[in-house]
Structure 1
Amino acid sequence: MDLKAAMHSIVDAFCEIPSEGGVLLEVSEDDDYFDEGSPGPIWFAMKSDTLFIGVTFNSNEFLSEKTEPDAVNAVRRALEPFLTRHRAVLHRWTLDPVLAADPFVINILLQPALRGRTLQDLYEIGEGVLALLAALQGATLTREATLDLLRAGRAEILIGQPEGPWLDVKSAHYDLTRVGGKVSLAQSVARFANAEHGGIVVVGMKGKKVPGGEEIREICPLPDDRGVLRKYQSALENHLYPPPDYLDIECVTVKEGILILLHVPPQPEELKPFLVHGAVVEGATEGAFISIVRRRGESSIPITAPAIHATLAAGRALLRRGELPTGSPADP
């Protein structure tokens, strides 16, 4: 049955129209299931013969367009790439005035294009918006929320989002058959290990330079070869010192393949700087060199000789005083 026709039939049969002039339906993921009643987090509304997807979201922030327009606009901008790809627009944003306490209840109406769409398609748009809103607590994506999205198989939600100081994407595998590829992998991890907040490297997603930086443009699934994880681990074991604490290297399943996810949590200061055995000098790989890199914004910079000397001098000063950082090799 056509969704519009089904909604109109409910109006004719029950004449229960909310005060705003719409019909609310709770809809399951089953294309053919309709249930009149109180809406859940994803629902549908019909107004003036126009069908809307409704999303009810519990926010830990007071996101009011009247009093917090900058925060709301930041969330709108973050939602826009996802909605554009799914042929939908954000029609209205309403903060529930009654529940004026954490969590705050936000109702959002989305207007989707309907041609060629099933109820399942529309429901999945609502699911994607809910997942992205949950990840956008604070109006910006965090490293932890991005990690959750990737592990939940929702990598497509990141398309259109910017890369940043803790997120880097690569469209294809590092060439781990060559020393240069192994050094490049070690440097990618070292950049985040030497940074303050850690970071995430996603292999199998493509970025593009845009004004002001880079943004994620598409998913480039890799062949489903779980054995490649050991090659990544081996390359890092041989070219990165010391081993970063709690480094995760894992496969994430997506349509038509996998992504490789390298998660580098924030590292203890006493382990820094992380050293890479090998360096790329004027495009050539020098296997006997030692390189130290760190992340700044969306680019990487080498750690300077004065910074390295200051670190070594501080370590010597501690040794002279008979102090060693916790967890150092000299600890019993």
Structure 2
Amino acid sequence: MAAKVTASLVRQLNHGRSFCEILFFVPNTVSFDPRLGMWFFGGKRRYDDGSGSIVITHSDLSATKAADLSRELRKARQLNWEPPPILVDVAPEDQYWGKGAIVEPVTFTLHDDGKLAIECDLTSHEYFDEDDEFFPLVERLIGPLLQRTNSRLLSVASDGGRPSAPYYYRVKFSVVTWGRNLHDLYQVGQGVKAIFDASVTGELTRETAADLVAGGRADLLQGLPEGPWLDVKSQHYDLTTDRGKISLAEAVSRFANAEEGGIVIVGMDTKRVAGGEVIRSIKPVPIIGTTIRRYRQAIESRLFPFPFGLEITAVEINPHEGLIIVSIPRQEEELKPFLVHGAIVGGRTEGAYISIVRRSGEDSIPITAQQIHSTLAAGRALLRRGYLYPPEE
């Protein structure tokens, strides 16, 4: 009996299950039955699309551990079954049927090295004779996102045969599966596609703009107006003075107090047009080894609380010159308002003041005393009673 238990434990460990998962009987979120050649996600059978791929639903993404899928694909290979690509049906769960399904442009596959990989279908109006010529361009473009998500570009290949635009390419990149579900990895794939599509169409969001600049395509922002999520500066904030530190903290707090966050880019020039300012040109600023640290310290010393997920990135354009990107994700309402220690009033720097501003379109507007009071009153009511308004009878 003990020998059977030991053999079973060894088999499960060899298939990639952790000792804790085995000890506490954590069920697989995906399984492959080699006797029937069937795949099950969350206990539900998922079907072939008619060409050797397995189609799953969007609901399977959150319910499936990436490590489980990787393990089952490797098991299939070890049993001489070809590990199938895993596609995602665009249809809702109640309309699911694998064969002939219309699927998303993100696919899960098993790479030759036995690790889980993601493939994304990309579209370009530019033709490249050799895939090797396209690889470094894609690598630079999506590199910041892949680095941030612990992923690595593996290959870029064209589907070939098209005589005219649009041309189709497929990128493959490896991903870290530990502690992630398929939805986490699917979002990485969607991010890769969004960045590439934005580089083609010029239609930008806060997320894609930051990644495009970090990926070496700051030129795509030229002609873009400053607005609810974008603010640019042609010169560094003077962080040797209180005025410069307060100005930087106020720029960040405007987006932290806004609804969708935003990005501040230092090293781009603007020009005045009817209705506001548009980005005119790239104007690189000096970058040294302490630049990012000084920006972060200035924000930490003048802004409270420190925005969750804030990132400061230096993008080199020329030797020792480039752009600084301060990216502020959307902040939870419970953290607002973000307070700046200090204010610039009538051209004077008032270090003892507290200022609160938020972004509205291209302009920055102060938060009123009434808004501050209502926020504090609501917080006190919630702490005292456990609810903001009396429950209905």
RMSD between aligned alpha carbons? 3.1
Amino acid at match of 1:235: A
Residue 26 of structure 1 deviates from its aligned partner by 3.1
Amino acid at match of 1:26: D
Q: What does residue range 13-52 of structure 1 map to in structure 2 within 5 Å?
A: 26=129, 29=133
Matched, 1:308 2:372: yes
Q: Distance in 1 between matches of 2:282 and 2:128?
A: 34
Match of 1:231 among 294, 300, 311: 294
Matched, 1:258 2:295: no
Instruction: Report SS of the residue matched to 2:225.
Output: coil
Matched, 1:56 2:166: yes
Q: Distance in 1 between matches of 2:205 and 2:160?
A: 24
Amino acid at match of 1:205: M
Q: Distance in 2 between matches of 1:214 and 1:43?
A: 44
Q: Distance in 2 between matches of 1:315 and 1:259?
A: 40
Match of 2:384 among 313, 320, 325: 320
Partner of 2:252: 189
Q: What does residue range 291-306 of structure 1 map to in structure 2 within 5 Å?
A: 291-306=355-370
Q: Distance in 1 between matches of 2:346 and 2:161?
A: 57
Residue 43 of structure 1 deviates from its aligned partner by 11
Partner of 2:333: 269
Q: What does residue range 1-332 of structure 1 map to in structure 2 within 5 Å?
A: 26=129, 29=133, 55-56=165-166, 134-135=197-198, 140-256=203-319, 257-322=321-386
Q: Distance in 2 between matches of 1:262 and 1:25?
A: 34
CA contact under 8 A between 1:241 and 1:276: conserved in structure 2? Answer: yes
Q: 1:246 to 1:25 in 2, by over 3 A?
A: closer
Amino acid at match of 2:284: P
Q: What is the total number of aligned residue pairs between the two structures?
A: 215
Of stretches 297-306 and 218-227 in structure 1, the one that deviates more from structure 2 is 218-227
Deviations 1:46-78 (A, max 9, x none): xxxxxxxx652569xxxxxxxxxxxxxxxxxxx
Residue 252 of structure 1 deviates from its aligned partner by 1.1
Deviations 1:213-233 (A, max 9, x none): 211111111123131111111
Higher RCO, Cα 8 Å, sep 6+: 1
Residue 255 of structure 1 deviates from its aligned partner by 3.4
Deviations 1:99-130 (A, max 9, x none): xxxxxxxxxxxxxxxxxxxxxxxxxxxxxxx9
Q: 1:25 to 1:300 in 2, by over 3 A?
A: closer
TM-score, normalised to structure 2, is 0.50
Q: Distance in 2 between matches of 1:218 and 1:185?
A: 21
Instruction: Report SS of the residue matched to 1:26.
Output: coil
Q: Distance in 1 between matches of 2:288 and 2:202?
A: 36
Q: 1:25 to 1:173 in 2, by over 3 A?
A: closer
Instruction: Report SS of the residue matched to 1:244.
Output: coil
Q: Distance in 1 between matches of 2:210 and 2:160?
A: 24
Amino acid at match of 2:280: R
Q: 1:317 to 1:168 in 2, by over 3 A?
A: same
Deviations 1:63-94 (A, max 9, x none): xxxxxxxxxxxxxxxxxxxxxxxxxxxxxxxx
Amino acid at match of 2:366: P
Alignment gaps of 5+ in structure 1: 1-23, 31-38, 46-53, 60-129, 325-332
Deviations 1:163-190 (A, max 9, x none): 2100110011001111000000000000
CA contact under 8 A between 2:199 and 2:212: conserved in structure 1? Answer: no
Q: Distance in 1 between matches of 2:372 and 2:274?
A: 33
Q: 1:58 to 1:220 in 2, by over 3 A?
A: same
Residue 258 of structure 1 deviates from its aligned partner by 1.6
Q: 1:131 to 1:42 in 2, by over 3 A?
A: farther
Residue 25 of structure 1 deviates from its aligned partner by 8.2
Q: 1:58 to 1:270 in 2, by over 3 A?
A: farther
Instruction: Report SS of the residue matched to 1:254.
Output: strand
Amino acid at match of 2:353: F
Question: Percent sequence identity over matched residues?
Answer: 55
